[in-house]
Structure 1
Amino acid sequence: MNGLETTQIQCPYCWETFETVVDCSVVEQQYVEDCYVCCQPIVFQVTSDGEQITELRISAENQ
């Protein structure tokens, strides 16, 4: 298994839903990725078991 998981999220700015790929080989991580629709920065907080997402929280960067 490659440790990548595709998941759908909803942008906290424009509310559009889109797919993104998360690297599950890192057990706990936080990073910023721009929305594919409105280009606003979204903060991802991801917890995984090394193979799949166990918790995913997203928020607007300015909150």
Structure 2
Amino acid sequence: MDSLLEEVVSCPYCGESIRVLIDHQEAGQQYIEDCQVCCRPITFSLRVDAMGYMSVTVYDENETV
């Protein structure tokens, strides 16, 4: 199974839709990646539900999760 998934997320700063590659093996973790448009740091939170579906949530650096 290919562990990389392409997702489209909206930057919490500039609102632009950006494409990112998500590694399914990093489920349950958080990491920071800069926006490809405005270069501000986006916090990514990766979760897998009981059915095995990946969800990706993005936050700005000042938001609490």
TM range (shorter): 0.7 to 0.9
- CA apart distance, 1:56: 1.3
* 2:3 is the alignment partner of 1:3: yes
- CA apart distance, 1:18: 1.0
- CA apart distance, 1:25: 1.5
> Partner residue of 2:43?
43
- The aligned length equals 61
Residue identity over aligned pairs, in percent, reads: 38
Cα shift readout 1:25-45 (whole Å, capped 9, x = no counterpart): 223110000000000000000
C-alpha distance in 1 between matches for 2:4 and 2:24: 6
TM-score under structure 1 normalisation?
A: 0.84
Q: Which has the higher contact order (CA 8 A, sep 6+)?
A: 1
| Unmatched tracts of structure 1, length 5 or more | none
Regions of 4+ moved over 3 Å: none
TM-score under structure 2 normalisation?
A: 0.82
C-alpha distance in 1 between matches for 2:59 and 2:16: 14
| Unmatched tracts of structure 2, length 5 or more | none
Secondary structure in structure 2 of the residue aligned to 1:28: coil
